[in-house]
Structure 1
Amino acid sequence: MIDQKRIRRRTFMKHSAVLGMASAFGLDGDKTLGLTEGATEKKEQKRPNLLFVFPDQMRRHAMGFMKQDPVITPVLDRFSDDSIVFTHATSTHPLCSPYRGSLFTGLYPHRSGLPTNCHSSRRNVYLRRETTTLTDILARGGYDVGYIGKWHLKTPDEGHGYHGPWIPPEDRHSTDFWYIWSDKHRNNFQPSYWKNDAQPDELIVPGRVWSAIHETNVAVDYLYNKNKAFRDENKPFALFVSWNPPHDPYTKAEVPKEYYDQYGDAVSKELLNRDNVVDSKKTEGATRHARGYFASVTGIDDQFGRILQALKSTGLEEDTLVVFTSDHGEMLGSHGLMTKNQCYEESFGIPLLMRWKGRLLPRRDDLLIGTPDLMPTLLALLGLGDKIPAGIHGKDLSAAVQNEKQAHRPEIAWYFNASNNARGLRTHKMSCFFDRKKDATTDLLFNLNDDPYQMHNLAKARPDLLKEFGAQTYEWLKNIGDDFSDYQKKGAYLNTIPV
């Protein structure tokens, strides 16, 4: 096991070091820290602000206080003490665009329009203009809505692969402040952005700076709102900050040296400490880049700290519901797999922390909350429960979040993977998945209490349980109108589920 004290001796998580890093990247130190002149005066508001922060590809285990991955996250460790930590939160479809589609629409991927990642070769995968989204409802409810970072909800221009396209105003779903990352995800040190009314050829190119640092600069300025340049201070705000890191690549060149160096001389065997990590040719990247992944997480932790400090300095802390989460996890060699889009906990399980000082009781909570549930739950917490659209799939779990005694608490979190063609569920104790490919049928059943690393498939040993969960999955899919086919409609597999 890695020696955390040995690593922490090399940490630079101090106020002066952040200033030094700003200087190294050629940034204005005051601006980087959000130390603009004066703070926004605290105003009476009918509704709380919402600050929703979600880095890309950060698994639930990659937070120090969870005591699983050997990762350095002092900010999240402190933040967890004042927050609800949802220990069983899941990414219903653990892939970027499907997650975002469900987050903003409250719908499963077969109805959101985003059954897989947006790509120039997939012309029909995008968030529809006419769909009512979380940001639309917030705007109608009197919120000033801001979005910073990665969008990934529109089909890129033909031949551009995953390259983020310019988004016309009518497709921004009522967003007032718009600062969108344009680059492919392999340019974390050369980002570029479209701001507000900028036309396609009017990109902001800030120079060589880690994208998460630059986007945090913008978020901090948004909170300080000097000269009222970012938002209407007479309204509550809803700010979404979507960082690309800790998404791959994880090479040393893709992570700021200050974060990379915090892991000292730690080797991959110390960092890849999960029992289910498989050393194979397919997972050579995990061996080479584990340090880069965790260093990226540490960088994200630091940037989150800057945002929290700005929130406190502006006097907005107690008036703001803060949510920290991620769109999906990262396998990092577990089960011989890399990246995401898998049913295993390393991909399916995500961080979800909510803090609203004086309103939400800090605690560890095993609520089984999935991606579509976030939209209605957030709206209800913000006092807009009567605006939740009829017919969405997500459930309003705000009563459970507020720790009400008679609150509904789901017994199942659903798994819906249209791009890898699998469906299934997770309970507090068990997980069960039905993986269907054109030439392969796989059933997976795990006892998470006895086998938290999901290494012992019980599907053949416990056909009774497999059928019980199969019947529940079958009924769920029938109810939501899904025939268990992949997004390309190559075949329907609903009747292959054991019941």
Structure 2
Amino acid sequence: MAKNLLFLMADQLGAHALDGESQEFLAAPHLARLREEGAAFTRAYTPFPLCVPGRSSLISGRAPHEIGIDRNRPSEEVVEEFRAGPTLPRTLQEHGFRTEWGGKWHAPRVEVSEADGFALTRPFGDAGLADWAAERLDELSAAEQPFALFVSFDDPHTICEYARGQPMPYGDVEPAPIAKTPPLPLNHGPLPYEPEALAHERAVGQNVHGTGTWGPDEWRQYRWTYARLVERVDHQIGTVLAALERSGAAEDTLVVFTSDHGDGDGAHQWSQKSALYEECIRVPLLLRAPGKPAGRTVSTPVTTAELVPTLCAELGIAPPPGVRPGNLLEDAPAEDVVVETRIDHPASTTVGRSLLHGDWKYTVYSWGRNREQLHHLGEDPLEMRNLAVQSRHGEMLAALRSRLLERCLRDGDPFARRIPLPPDLPAEIREQIFTPPY
């Protein structure tokens, strides 16, 4: 059983960037070593591909719709209700851990404070963060009290500033000759039967994404820059991990690395997050736990909201109230994973859900043509063939619709009313879904 926790986090780092085929264009040796020394969850998903909902769900262990956070600027009432409730840091603090947070918070306020469950905090910003964390590990490991140190890097989120032509907060990335940049992903171009809602959001979000007029070379430079930002955060993580080794506390410390969400990285001509494409929702999840085997790979779908009960179990404490017990390192994963999203613009709102069930992925958005998407990720990991439009997959489409509906009804998710309902749905269930005000 672990005595301490070191929780490392990046922002907007998609798992695809660390997959084998990406290694030709970037090197992340410190994360690669952590993967070799622990367990790698290759199909880990954010609960919501946007900073505040994803992070709030991650530290509370509850789904975004449960905590009422589905946007980056929730109401003050929702914020205060969340801050008064149980979270992982507060639970650890109540069980005698010295809890400290450095870096980006956004869960749900922008800046972190001691009132969020910490004895010490360091503000948002990557400059000097790794060195601060190294110093804190030296001091924390010398004390008798168990510690939980959270180190949350902003990069590679600063790719957003790059795309908008703005200065990058921690230093610009030198562009490369086009011949040296990564090629466009195979799923870059608009594909048949893509969701109308996403095509619309891509067009109206030009001021957010900054990519509306880009051609192939601009996208390739984007991918080059993103890879360099991933390398930058890997280097900083290496600094922190080296400090943990020097401190003498490594053998007693549970180490976690993940991200709040991914980045489109040019797939489907998408940058940033919010869409339910794999590049945006699949995130790295690495766990190195004392006494657990090294080099383990878990390829079944899991969600980072499951980290709260997992970390509590490994540290020998009960999870916060309202969080289902479980341990990703010990228990069989849940049969289904659900990812939520909401994309807001002044003139439109798109809401969506993805259900991951084995190799199958069912996605449905709230409006538009082709709002249902069905992919077999084992055969089509880049989501290039929408099987929802093929009648021979009608049975699977109906089955996954039903599974998502059952999940929404079980968990009180109001998205139930957005799912295409079967004509033979019992009247009492339809009445439950559409109870006014709907």
* Cα separation, 2, equivalents of 1:476 and 1:436: 17
Which residue number corresponds to residue 4 of structure 2? Answer: 49
- Check conservation: 2:355, 2:404, Cα contact below 8 A: yes
Residues 313-332 of structure 1 correspond to what in structure 2 (within 5 A)? 313-332=246-265
Partners of 2:271 and 2:168 lie apart in 1 by 18
Q: Does 1:413 align with 2:346?
A: no
CA contact (8 A) 2:44 2:301 kept: yes
2:138 to 199, 211, 224: 224
One-letter code aligned to 2:326: D
Q: Post-superposition shift, 1:409?
A: 2.5
Per the alignment, residue 38 of structure 1 pairs with none
Q: Secondary structure at the match of 1:307?
A: helix
1:116 aligned residue (25, 46, 71): 71
Amino acid at match of 1:332: D
Q: Deviations over 1:457-490 (max 9, x none)?
A: 00021221111000000000000011218xxxxx
1:117–1:125: 8 Å Cα contact kept in structure 2?
no
Q: Which residue of 2 aligns with 1:456?
A: 385
Superposed counterparts of 1:309-458, under 5 Å: 309-384=242-317, 387-392=318-323, 396-398=326-328, 401-402=329-330, 407-419=331-343, 420-437=350-367, 442-458=371-387
Distance 2:243 2:141 in 1: 15
Give the CA deviation at 1:135. 0.7
Is residue 2:26 matched to residue 1:71?
yes
Give, as a single letter, the amino acid of the residue that structure 1 aligns with 2:156: P
Output one character per residue of 1:433-467: Cα deviation in whole Å (capped at 9) or x when no partner: 11113x56600001112111101100021221111
The Cα of 1:359 is off from its aligned counterpart by 2.7
Cα 1:64–1:348 shift into 2, 3 Å: closer
The answer to whether the aligner puts 1:142 opposite 2:96 as a matched pair is yes
Aligned residues: 389
Offset of residue 380 of structure 1:
0.7
Change (3 A) 1:388 1:79: closer
Which residue number corresponds to residue 483 of structure 1? Answer: 414
- Equivalent position of 1:203 in the other structure: none
* Aligned equivalent of 1:32: none
Question: Is 1:493–2:424 an aligned residue pair?
Answer: no
The structure-2 alpha-carbon separation of the partners of 1:143 and 1:66, relative to structure 1 and needing over 3 Å to count, comes to: farther
191, 212, 230: which one aligns with 2:126: 212
Q: Any idea what SS the aligned residue of 2:268 has?
A: coil
- Aligned partners of 1:356 and 1:47: how far apart in 2? 7
Secondary structure class of the residue paired with 1:453: coil
Offset of residue 84 of structure 1: 0.9
> Which residue is equivalent to 1:235?
145
Q: Closer, same or farther in 2 for the Cα pair 1:430/1:410, shift >3 Å?
A: same
The residue type equivalent to 2:168 in the other structure is E
Q: Which amino acid aligns with 2:265?
A: L
Aligned residue number for residue 276 of structure 1: 187
Q: Deviations over 1:55-88 (max 9, x none)?
A: 1000001126464672221222222211211111
Q: Deviations over 1:180-229 (max 9, x none)?
A: 21xxxxxxxxxxxxxxxxxxxxxxxxxxxxx424111211111112xxxx
Asked if structure 2 preserves the Cα contact closer than 8 Å seen for 1:252 and 1:260, the reply is no
- Superposed CA deviations along residues 101-142 of structure 1, whole A, max 9, x for unmatched, are 1111111111223211136xx545536232111111111111
3-state SS of paired residue (2:414): coil
Contact 1:372–1:395 under 8 Å retained in 2: no
TM-score between the two structures when normalised by the length of structure 1: 0.71
- Specify whether residues 422 and 113 from structure 1 end up closer, same or farther in structure 2 by C-alpha distance, changes over 3 A only: same
Give the CA deviation at 1:494: 4.5
Aligned with 2:96: secondary structure? coil
Secondary structure class of the residue paired with 1:451 = coil
Structure 1 match to 2:118:
175
Equivalent position SS for 1:54: strand
In the TM superposition, what whole-angstrom CA distance separates every residue of 1:314-352 from its partner, at most 9, and x where no partner exists? 111111111111011000211121111111110111001
Specify the SS of the correspondent of 1:484.
helix
Whether 2:398 is the aligned partner of 1:467: answer yes
Change (3 A) 1:417 1:232: farther
Q: SS of the residue aligned with 2:334?
A: coil
Q: Hey, what's the Cα distance between the residues in 2 that align with 1:267 and 1:139? A: 52
Identity %: 28
Taking the aligned partners of 1:110 and 1:286, their CA distance within structure 2 comes to 34
* Inter-partner Cα distance in structure 2 for 1:69 and 1:333: 17
Q: Which aligned pairs between 1:223-302 and structure 2 lie closer than 5 A?
A: 223-225=137-139, 233-247=143-157, 248-250=160-162, 254=168, 260=173, 265=177, 267=179, 270-278=181-189, 281=212, 286-302=219-235
Q: Secondary structure at the match of 1:416?
A: strand
Contact 1:113 1:124 in 2 (8 A): no
Instruction: Confirm or deny that 1:129 pairs with 2:83.
Output: yes
**1:434, 1:443 within 8 Å by CA — same for their partners in 2?**
yes
Q: Structure 2 unaligned runs (5+)?
A: 191-210, 344-349, 426-438
Please give the per-residue CA displacement for 1:270-322, whole angstroms capped at 9, x wherever unaligned: 41442111388455563442222111100001000000100001111111111
Q: For the Cα contact (< 8 Å) 1:252–1:292, is it kept in 2? A: no
TM-score (norm 2): 0.81
